[in-house]
Amino acid sequence: MILVINQVLKVKPVTPGSKEDIFPGIKNDPESSKGEKAIVSLKVNIIQGTDLSQINDLILIGPNPINVTLINQKNSFFSGTTISIFINHLFKEGVSKEVRQYIYEGGGLFALSKKGYQTWEEQEKAFQHLAHFMLSDTPDLIMNSGKKAYILDPSPNAGKTPCHLSGRITYNKDHKPPLTEDNKYMHHVATISCRETTPVLSDYCNCHLLDHLSFYIDSLHTGEGWPIHPGQHSVQNYDEAADLEGVHLEDEGTEISLRPLFSIPEPDHALVMSLKLNDDHLKRYDALYYSYHKALGLGRKHRIQFLGYPQSEMTCVAFEAESLFHQKAYSSIHYRDASQWQLLLQISPQTYRFTFFETFGEATIYYLIKNQDLKDGNFSRVQVVVHKE
């Protein structure tokens, strides 16, 4: 549900910890009492959905979206819909100075589902609602840019699963893990079950993939530079067989549970930049991107993800992959070429404490592949990008 703000009727400052503060925070915490919160009365127009009675929580749409709580609402045939919201956000300089950055006529609120957005279909619907409100006059490519993906949650108690981080790999005896240039095993980063992820992989790949997809990296020589060159990383697709030989690497590993994600590109992704949007459209897409992730309850960074679009720590990851793979200067790269790079795996040390990050360094690792190579099941041309955190 989207609500458009027609008029700001009243803005009332709320002292943290007072009777009107419905989220008082931790007692005697000086940080929770600096500044003011607010109760705001608004006249709104409901443009998607009809029933506010089942809504408790909303998001103020914008580049820095804020969660707000619906206190009450009133519908009138003559005056329309009015609502009061509580903003559990500390305005450090005071409500009167800061609140208009977030609440203004023509702005919007996105009503959150009580059940959350657990499926790809629910997430896509939320994205489409936001996109039609904020970017209805932009190219269809933006509207259709979303891709199914998985968030990988380290879950030691998830039960037996073929997807796991680090740990033991079981191979056919004729199939061994890749080696570094000095003939040592590369570090096994993760293994993904192609069977378990078929609902997503089938959108990307036209061919039959073998059972497992395993990701490796040379973690022993990062003092000499990040392992972004050929021979320093590998992705292997293979079947388990009846005659197995266990290869024990690093530790016992951690099982992964798979969580659906309808992934959209970052505002500076090569795909978005290739559209040559004007400044106003770019600002609106920026607000859309962060509002959508806020609605899904996702932080801006630090997650383990399979497929979809990457979350860069610095420059656009796809742009950097094009530069590294073809040894091109940034100035000679076309955005449309860079947008052909597809994320395979993103893994951040902030989401799970891998022991190898202690020697590898605090950095997010991205495995990328060209769209056509993924369609063909060709994992010999994967490019790794590393962003230091």
- CATH code of 161's domain: 2.30.320
- Are residues 151 and 188 part of one domain? yes
pLDDT, tens digit (0-9, with 9 covering 90-100), for 84-118: 999 988 888 888 878 888 888 889 999 887 777 89
- Are residues 109 and 139 part of one domain? no
| Chain centre distance of CA 282 | 19
How far is 382 from 367, CA to CA, in rounded Å?
7
Q: Do 188 and 220 contact (CB within 8 A), yes or no?
A: no
Per-residue pLDDT at 229 exceeds 60: yes
Question: Which whole number is the average pLDDT over 5-17?
Answer: 91
How far is 99 from 63, CA to CA, in rounded Å?
14
Q: Which of 115, 137, 171 is the last residue of a domain?
A: 115
- Are residues 63 and 151 part of one domain? no
Please report, rounded to a whole number, the percentage of residues in the chain having pLDDT higher than 90.
Answer: 38
- Are residues 21 and 91 part of one domain? yes
For residue 282, tell me if it sits in a domain. yes
Q: In the prediction, which pLDDT does 388 show?
A: 81
pTM for this model (two decimals) = 0.87
How far is 96 from 240, CA to CA, in rounded Å?
64
Q: Which of 89, 115, 141 is the last residue of a domain?
A: 115
Question: Which whole number is the average pLDDT over 184-191?
Answer: 84
pLDDT, tens digit (0-9, with 9 covering 90-100), for 294-318: 999 887 666 889 999 999 878 899 9
- Are residues 326 and 204 part of one domain? yes
Task: Tell the residue number behind the tokens 């009138």, with chain if given.
Answer: 76
How far is 131 from 274, CA to CA, in rounded Å?
18
- Are residues 321 and 186 part of one domain? yes
For residue 121, tell me if it sits in a domain. no
Per-residue pLDDT at 25 exceeds 70: no
Q: In the prediction, which pLDDT does 369 show?
A: 98
One-letter amino acid at 342 equals: Q
Q: In the prediction, which pLDDT does 230 show?
A: 87
Question: For residue 317, with 0-12 CB atoms within 10 Å meaning exposed, 13-18 middle and 19 or more buried, which class applies?
Answer: buried
Domain that holds residue 323: 126-388
How far is 179 from 217, CA to CA, in rounded Å?
9
Across 18-32, 227-241, 266-280, 312-326, least confident range: 18-32
Q: Output the CA angle 357-362-363, nearest 5 degrees.
A: 100
pLDDT, tens digit (0-9, with 9 covering 90-100), for 324-339: 999 988 888 899 999 9
Average pLDDT, the chain: 84
- Are residues 91 and 231 part of one domain? no
Q: Which of 115, 145, 162 is the last residue of a domain?
A: 115
Per-residue pLDDT at 243 exceeds 60: no
Number of domains in the chain: 2
For residue 292, tell me if it sits in a domain. yes
Q: In the prediction, which pLDDT does 265 show?
A: 95
HSE-CB at 212 with a 13 A cutoff on CA atoms is: 20
Cβ count near 50 (within 10 Å): 7
- pLDDT interval class at 246 (50, 70, 90): very low
Q: Which of 342, 338, 329 is nearest to 369 (CA)?
A: 342
How far is 95 from 223, CA to CA, in rounded Å?
49
- Are residues 274 and 372 part of one domain? yes
Query: Helix, strand or coil for residue 326?
Result: helix
One-letter amino acid at 143 equals: M
pLDDT, tens digit (0-9, with 9 covering 90-100), for 329-379: 888 889 999 999 999 999 987 766 666 666 666 788 999 999 999 999 999
Cβ count near 210 (within 10 Å): 13
- Are residues 160 and 87 part of one domain? no
- Are residues 256 and 287 part of one domain? yes
- Are residues 181 and 80 part of one domain? no
pLDDT, tens digit (0-9, with 9 covering 90-100), for 192-204: 989 889 989 999 9
Q: In the prediction, which pLDDT does 242 show?
A: 39
Q: Output the CA angle 94-285-146, nearest 5 degrees.
A: 130
| 155 or 237: which leads in pLDDT | 237
Please report, rounded to a whole number, the percentage of residues in the chain having pLDDT higher than 70.
Answer: 84
- Are residues 356 and 212 part of one domain? yes
| 254 or 281: which leads in pLDDT | 281
Phi, psi of 260 (to 5 degrees): -60, 140
| 208 or 159: which leads in pLDDT | 208
HSE-CB at 99 with a 13 A cutoff on CA atoms is: 25
Per-residue pLDDT at 271 exceeds 50: yes
